[in-house]
């Protein structure tokens, strides 16, 4: 297990060094999850890339810090972690709030971001009303009270029917996150708006959406892609908000194809 202290917050991370010349891909998780969501993706990509996953503060085995958070807090964690592992640059892949963190990292340190993979995310996610309502419910009744509803956003009806054990595991991952970490991160999503900043992105960018994502639906993800110069947009078939868990093979194939075509590492048919 790997832990480090970044600015007073303990971060749980997993750094797999792929060897000389292997580009680094960094993975930032979504609200209510931790880096276990990347397992199958990382196991595949590790043949050709160095990989770095971490649990966002307030999630998994990382520390709480001082909630509520801002996206800048999460960005500072990732920025510090990259310095800690000695990464000079990386391809940054972020899911949902992790995508907001990836956009925020590019905004303050573009020189360390070689490319962006923005999954089931947007320049702005939700409204103050919806986030405040969720925070109030979770404070009053706990994460368990919203967990079944959130599972409908995260995964398709087919996944619910065909993978009940994996669904139960993902529900447990959500329900066991610390309430303050969860609500603190809800606040960071509520307050983030990268609408102007994404227009200044100047690295290869792939935007990905699950075709049945109930949280950041394809038209929203596409609207972000339209704001980013040269960005590409891809749909993952048969996936909700977390395609890296629901459709890992398709997800990896899209990433590999993009990175190989942009000559950023690996090869498409690996």
Ligand X SMILES: O=C(O)CC1=CCC(=O)O1
Q: 3-state DSSP call for residue 187?
A: helix
Which residues neighbour 161 within 8 Å (Cβ) at sequence distance 6 or greater?
none
Which residue lies nearer to ligand X by CB, 125 or 228?
125
Closest approach, Cβ 68 to ligand X, in A, equals 15
**Type and span of the H or E element at 129:** helix 128-141
Of residues 134-193, those binding ligand X (CB under 6 A): 150, 153, 189
Closest approach, Cβ 153 to ligand X, in A, equals 5
Which residue lies nearer to ligand X by CB, 221 or 259?
221
Structure tokens at 159: 């996944």
Q: Which residue sits closest to ligand X, CB atoms considered?
A: 96
Which residue lies nearer to ligand X by CB, 89 or 211?
211
Of residues 62-101, those binding ligand X (CB under 6 A): 96-97
Which residue lies nearer to ligand X by CB, 9 or 153?
153
- Single out the residue of 6, 25, 26, 31 in contact with ligand X (rule: CB under 6 A): 31
- Single out the residue of 156, 215, 247, 250 in contact with ligand X (rule: CB under 6 A): 215
Omega cis (within 30) before 23: no
Which residue lies nearer to ligand X by CB, 30 or 50?
30
CA pair distance 23, 254, nearest whole angstrom: 17
Which residue lies nearer to ligand X by CB, 56 or 259?
56
Number of residues that bind ligand X (CB under 6 A): 11
Closest approach, Cβ 134 to ligand X, in A, equals 8
Of residues 105-134, those binding ligand X (CB under 6 A): 125
- Single out the residue of 30, 51, 177, 183 in contact with ligand X (rule: CB under 6 A): 30
CA pair distance 120, 144, nearest whole angstrom: 23
Burial class (CB in 10 A: 0-12, 13-18, 19+), 111: exposed
**Contact (Cβ atoms closer than 8 angstroms) between residue 65 and residue 57:** yes
**Contact (Cβ atoms closer than 8 angstroms) between residue 240 and residue 159:** yes
**Type and span of the H or E element at 210:** strand 205-210
Window of 7-15, 30-38, 70-78, 108-116 that interacts with ligand X by CB under 6 A:
30-38
Closest approach, Cβ 9 to ligand X, in A, equals 18
Window of 29-37, 63-71, 75-83, 262-270 that interacts with ligand X by CB under 6 A:
29-37
DSSP state string for 148-179: HHHHHHHS-HHHHHH-HHHHHHHHHHHHTS-H
Which residue lies nearer to ligand X by CB, 63 or 99?
99
Name the H helices within 86-127: 97-108
Structure tokens at 175: 């329900």
**Rounded to the nearest 5°, which phi and psi values hold at 215?**
-105, -50
Binding residues for ligand X (CB under 6 A): 30-32, 96-97, 125, 150, 153, 189, 215, 241
């Amino acid at each position: 297990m790997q832990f480090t202290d970044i600015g007073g917050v303990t971060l749980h991370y997993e750094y797999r060094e792929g060897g000389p010349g292997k580009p680094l891909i960094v993975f930032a998780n979504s609200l209510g999850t931790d880096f276990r969501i990347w397992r199958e993706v990382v196991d595949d990509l590790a043949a050709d890339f160095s990989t770095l996953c971490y649990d966002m503060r307030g999630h998994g085995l990382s520390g709480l810090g001082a909630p509520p958070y801002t996206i800048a807090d999460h960005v500072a964690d990732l920025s510090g972690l990259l310095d800690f592992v000695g990464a000079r640059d990386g391809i940054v892949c972020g899911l949902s709030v992790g995508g907001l963190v990836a956009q925020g990292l590019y905004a303050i340190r573009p020189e360390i971001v070689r490319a962006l993979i923005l999954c089931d995310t947007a320049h702005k996610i939700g409204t103050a009303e919806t986030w405040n309502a969720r925070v109030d419910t979770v404070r009053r009744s706990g994460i368990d009270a919203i967990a079944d509803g959130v599972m409908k956003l995260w995964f398709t009806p087919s996944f619910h029917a065909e993978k009940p054990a994996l669904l139960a595991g993902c529900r447990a991952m959500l329900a066991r996150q610390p309430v303050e970490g969860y609500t603190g991160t809800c606040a960071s999503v509520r307050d983030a708006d990268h609408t102007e900043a994404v227009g200044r992105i100047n690295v290869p960018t792939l935007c990905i959406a699950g075709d049945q994502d109930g949280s950041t639906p394809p038209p929203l993800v596409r609207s972000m892609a339209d704001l980013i110069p040269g960005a590409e947009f891809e749909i993952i078939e048969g996936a909700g908000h977390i395609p890296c868990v629901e459709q890992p093979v398709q997800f990896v194939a899209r990433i590999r194809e993009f990175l190989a075509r942009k000559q950023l590492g690996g090869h498409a048919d690996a």
